A and B are shown apart, each in its own frame.
Chain A
Amino acid sequence: MGIGVIKLKINEQEVISREGDTILKAAKEHGITIPTLCDLDGLSNFGGCRLCLVEVKGSPKLFPACTTPVSNGMEVITDSERLKKYRKMAIELILSERIHVCSVCVANNNCELQDLANKLGVDHVNFKRDWNTHDLDTTHEFLVIDRNRCILCTRCIRVCDEVEGVHVLDLKNRGKDTEVIIDLDDQWGVSKICTSCRKCAKVCPVGAIYVEGQPISQTRDKKIAEFVLTRRQS
């Protein structure tokens, strides 16, 4: 076996991967899908949505596939009953946290949250829904942030900081009061730093940041961060 080659099993299937790769990457390369929401190729790891949790034989703990490195002899299970139940629960919790009404959402039919809900069989929400409204900011020339739809995955913040390099977006408050903010909690329209590059809209998994008047199917570009990163390195 060559240096840096890691042999492991994912769902009983023998998998060969590289040292330093994550379980998620190893799985993806072998056509095994692990659901994710905050993860995006080309951006730093966040580990916040907890959808990609997997089991590793020999440990009672759950491991986030997006940040756990592969190791030799590791036996990963990605679809146990417990994991399926927990993923459904995560989606239900996200759906109950803010106002997610698909019929009036720009991202309807182009939404990663909606897709996952369908895929994981979430047909109802068992928790009390929170109908408190969050701020909407339409002051920018064409970018809109509707915080009612935000799932706090921070992809927009990371792409703005790590790829575009301007760090216009960040978070304020903590816990359930956490919000994505522009500059030091200003209106988007007055931001002098924002380059209006639209990368935030391109990576948003839901309809929280979008380009006004443009169909979301044309706005979305999940590969943008990875594309820029690869270009920079070459």
Chain B
Amino acid sequence: MKPIDLVKLAERDLDLRRSYKYRINVCCSSGCLPFGAEDVLKAFEQAIKEYGVEKDCKVARTGCVGTCSVGPAVVVEPGDYLYQSVTPENAREIVKEHIIKGTPIKSMLYRNESFFKKQRRLILRNAGKIDPYNIEDYIAMGGYSALMKCLTSMTPKAVIDEVMASGLRGRGGAGFLTGQKWTFVARASGNPKYIIANLDEGDPGVFANRTLAEADPHAIIEGMLIAAYAIGAEKGYIYIRAEYPLAITTLKKALDQANSLNLVGENILETSFNFSIDLRLGAGAFVAGEETAILASIEGQRATPRPRPPYPATSGLWGKPTLIQNVETLANIPIIINNGGAWFAGIGTPKCSGTKCFSLTGKINSPGLIEVPMGTTLREVVYEIGNGIPNNRKFKAVLVGGPSGGCLPEEQIDLPIDYESLTKVGAIMGSGGIVVIDDQSCMVDTAKFFTDFCVDESCGKCVPCRVGLTKIKEIFERIMRGEGRMEDMNLLEELGNYIREASLCGLGQTAPNPVLTTLRYFKNEYVEHISQKKCSAGKCFQKNEEG
């Protein structure tokens, strides 16, 4: 395919899309499937046939719109009417009333309008709008135009400069400047060079990367291609955890289609640019998402981290220069190329440009997948987008950054979400998990839960993480048995600081965060557990009373 063919294809598909008066997007991602989204999709297809409106109305399988608690979600265009908890019976009704009579059924619409008001969907620009199984849908929305722009009118250096100007920082958690990382790999000597797209999302309650891959797989692939062109890589791997079957199927289909259109492979768009992509599935280890462990895993070894330096940029896969990026980072690249780095830098905060996806869960009225500009406050996320806490319970804490994030109290709720602000208060951006905790939850119990997770997932290589976390777990068990001692709080803090500072990789370095932040902000609960053997939230010591 030549560049001009891509343009023609895009025009043809856009015309096709416009030729329909209505478009019914049925979310068929992992959130909506268990609610029966497949049946709803079939019901819509049947209904438009029965009512004879196939020429006016297109029914499409799409990815996630974000309102995961009220699935199956269905969006009717134009107007983006979002129907919630749609059943196959509702489907006929919607076709009859909305498509044929033109009057949306108000009683079935999603009620929390503020869910979308504060969001800005750049990474999830196509999520819920296109059919992820159909590359032409992506192309119609301007997909692969950024790749074409790079290949036909930009030098690799110009691409890196644009990414540098955007101020984009790695969305995997650490927040390293993406443009700088690309410069390092581009300058590194050694051939071939590799790219790894990291989709080993393993945090409990986090599903942003999965959703992205299920909804818009080509955004990841296009981001990889542009990165490959910029740094001179020939081979890429998408490392995805095996527990994401739908995302794997979606990516496989997307790669096949991109291959057949010559957007991946050799002489891409009839230029001299070659880049092939393979999928690699994880084997169940959480730590495999750490950037040096991912290298070991792809090479076929135990997924354990190794010390840096050498950094993957100079010595990565099989000792060759390797660029490792989170898939969310990569999905930003096409929009940066299309709109310019300066445009992107204008979104978010000066130090933290762009938007970030968050998986909003816990005790919240409107949980789901959200995308907000950097610098949005936690209050806006919890009370406006999330619509507050159910049953008028009292807000207690919010856990930001997954199992190794920090539990922040009400005093911190006006904190803007960006890398520096979060680190300052003991939390991390991490994988972008936000778990809202109300007054029915016990903070000691919460800290114990996440410590247990990290104990199970520690690879066992370094002493602080392997042994230190186990000891923290034992101290928690002692407290929960009613055998805690007041010194235990000091011991927990000392151990926590040691593990944070002495561990080899990011898992260990962040694993004590829940313990350290709950000790910092909710010390009274520890005191209560230890000195009175009491849990105000009524979570702990239950078995003792029963027994």
Contact = CB atoms under 8 A, between A and B. Distances in A.
A73 interface: no
A67 interface: yes
A45 interface: yes
A96 B467 CA distance: 8
A68 B310 CA distance: 9
B501 A62 contact: yes
A152 B466 contact: yes
B455 A175 contact: yes
B460 A50 contact: no
A89 B460 contact: no
Interface stretch (B159-167, B363-371, B468-476): B468-476
A64 B470 contact: no
Given A90-B502, A128-B474, A50 B464 contact: yes
A173 interface: yes
A47 B502 contact: no
A49 B463 contact: yes
A174 B462 CA distance: 11
22 contacts: A48-B463, A49-B462, A50-B462, A50-B464, A50-B502, A50-B503, A67-B307, A89-B494, A89-B498, A90-B463, A93-B471, A94-B463, A97-B467, A127-B474, A171-B302, A173-B460, A175-B455, A175-B460, A176-B455, A176-B460, A178-B460, A178-B466
The 4 closest A-B pairs by CB, nearest first: A178-B460, A47-B307, A67-B307, A93-B467
B460 A177 contact: yes
Interface of B: 285, 287, 302, 306-307, 309, 455-464, 466-468, 470-471, 474-475, 478, 491, 494-495, 498, 501-504
Contacts of A173: 460
Most buried by A among B309, B456, B460, B474: B460
A48 B457 CA distance: 16
Contacts of A178: 459-460, 466
A41 to B, nearest CB: 17
B385 to A, nearest CB: 35
Contacts of B478: 128
Given A86-B502, A89-B498, A175-B457, A47 B463 contact: no
Nearest to B456: A175
Nearest to A170: B302
A127 B463 CA distance: 14
A50 B466 CA distance: 12
A97 B470 contact: yes
Nearest to A87: B502
Interface in A163-210: 171, 173-178
Contact of B307 (A45, A130, A177): A45
A185 B217 CA distance: 40
Contacts of A126: 491
A61 interface: yes
Contact of A175 (B458, B491, B495): B458
Nearest to A44: B306
Interface in A18-51: 45-50
Interface of A: 45-50, 53, 61-62, 64, 67-69, 86, 89-90, 93-94, 96-97, 126-128, 130, 152, 171, 173-178
A47 B466 contact: no
Nearest to B487: A126
A96 B455 CA distance: 16
A67 B502 contact: no
Nearest to B287: A174
A96 B491 CA distance: 15
B471 to A, nearest CB: 5
A175 B464 CA distance: 11
Nearest to A69: B309
B331 to A, nearest CB: 31
Most buried by A among B455, B459, B461, B467: B467
Contacts of B302: 171
Nearest to A60: B501
Contacts of A48: 461-463, 504
Given A50-B503, A61-B501, A175 B309 contact: no
A83 B309 CA distance: 21
A46 B304 CA distance: 11
Contacts of B474: 127-128
Contacts of A152: 460-461, 466
A127 B488 CA distance: 10
A176 B309 contact: no
Contact of A174 (B285, B306, B471, B494): B285
Contacts of A176: 455, 458, 460, 466-467, 470
Contacts of B456: 175
B409 to A, nearest CB: 25
Contacts of B307: 45, 47, 64, 67
